[in-house]
């Protein structure tokens, strides 16, 4: 019996996340370490700005 393998590509979601992260770095003019934290916390930084 032959098994079928289905490969899914999620690069669009990753590219959108990466683009949002880069936008946040530039828009908020974050430094290096803040930018490193923004990898996981970039919505937090935008919330501070707009809140």
- 33-45, pLDDT tens digit by residue? 888 887 888 778 7
Is residue 22 in some structural domain?
A: yes
Is residue 17 in some structural domain?
A: yes
Number of domains in the chain: 1
Q: State the residue range of the domain holding 46.
A: 11-50
Helices (H), 1-50: 11-27, 32-50
What is the pTM (predicted TM-score) of this model?
0.57
Q: What pLDDT, on a 0 to 100 scale, did the predictor assign at position 41?
A: 80
Is residue 2 in some structural domain?
A: no
Q: In whole angstroms, what is the distance from residue 33 CA to residue 38 CA?
A: 8
Is residue 24 in some structural domain?
A: yes
Q: What pLDDT, on a 0 to 100 scale, did the predictor assign at position 8?
A: 80
Is residue 1 in some structural domain?
A: no
Is residue 35 in some structural domain?
A: yes
């Amino acid at each position: 019996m032959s098994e079928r393998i289905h490969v899914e590509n999620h690069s669009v979601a990753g590219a959108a996340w990466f683009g949002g992260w880069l936008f946040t770095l530039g828009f908020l003019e974050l430094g290096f370490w803040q930018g490193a934290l923004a990898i996981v916390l970039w919505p937090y930084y935008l919330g501070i700005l707009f809140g």
